[in-house]
Homo-oligomer: A and B are copies of this chain.
Amino acid sequence: MSAVLTRPVGPDSHAGIEPCTHCDARPYSVCNAIGDCDLARLAALAQVMEVPQGTTFIAEGEPASHFFNITRGTAKLFKLLPDGRRQITGFAMVGHFLGLAVSDTYAFSAEAIEPIRFCRFHRNKLRALLEDFPAMESRLLEAAANELVAAQEQMLLLGRKTARERLASFLVMQCSQAMPAAHPHCQFPLPMTRGDIADYLGLTIETVSRTLTVLRKEGLIDVPGPGVLVLRDRAALEKVAGGLS
């Protein structure tokens, strides 16, 4: 990580004063396993940081010194082949935990697709903390199990679905993530570029663009502006996503 591009949040910042008690991510993240009374101990280990859009704050292959917890914004996680081909393995939103890997180097890279804030912990210090808070370890296991399920779903998408099915799956998933309630008609932000979507779905930018155009002309979706998307017919999209048309 480039030291120039990252900076700890100063004492004037809200998050700087009470890094955990009032954290935006607390309701969503694994740290909610720790009671308010013990939170100070966690806060003592946390280093809150903000980085601008485009910052690579985890680099594949580098020594894995920290755990990360996203508290604002979205990051993309990806792996690269030597010739530049890229596969985005996921998007980490508020509450997402990064760096679980047992290995001593990171298995993937992470880059901010918006200005983001995260807190980070030294691995060995957090490991010691985990021994005192088994509840947090349980939550981590739970989170890992959920990610594993999502990864298997993504393998099905990458290995067996058509471009049309991939886009439909992606949009439905993004929608349900943004709006837990299953509204039939839903609008939500789409902070990633076409290139990011393509690298997430194993397609090219052109195919993503073309397929979105088709879905739009069919009246299944609408693109009112850059970074915004509307599902006009969510039920139909879910059918397409499931391979039923």
Contacts and interface: CB of A to CB of B under 8 A. Distances in A.
Interface of A: 77, 79, 81-83, 85-87, 89, 100-103, 107-108, 130-131, 134, 137-138, 140-142, 144-149, 151-156, 158-161, 199, 201-202, 242-244
A153 B130 CA distance: 27
A131 B134 CA distance: 8
A189 to B, nearest CB: 24
7 contacts: A81-B156, A81-B161, A82-B243, A83-B244, A86-B160, A87-B155, A160-B202
B201 A102 contact: no
Contact of A160 (B85, B131, B242, B244): B85
A85 B161 CA distance: 9
Given A79-B153, A134-B137, 20 more contacts: A77-B152, A81-B156, A81-B243, A82-B242, A83-B244, A85-B160, A89-B152, A100-B145, A101-B148, A107-B153, A134-B134, A137-B137, A137-B138, A137-B141, A144-B145, A148-B148, A151-B152, A151-B155, A154-B155, A155-B155
Interface of A is mostly: helix
Contacts of A81: 156, 160-161, 242-243
Nearest to A201: B159
A108 B130 CA distance: 30
A199 B159 CA distance: 8
A79 B243 contact: no
Contacts of A82: 242-244
A87 B160 contact: yes
A58 to B, nearest CB: 13
Contact of A156 (B79, B83, B137): B79
Contact of A141 (B131, B140, B154): B140
Contacts of A79: 152-153, 155-156
A154 to B, nearest CB: 6
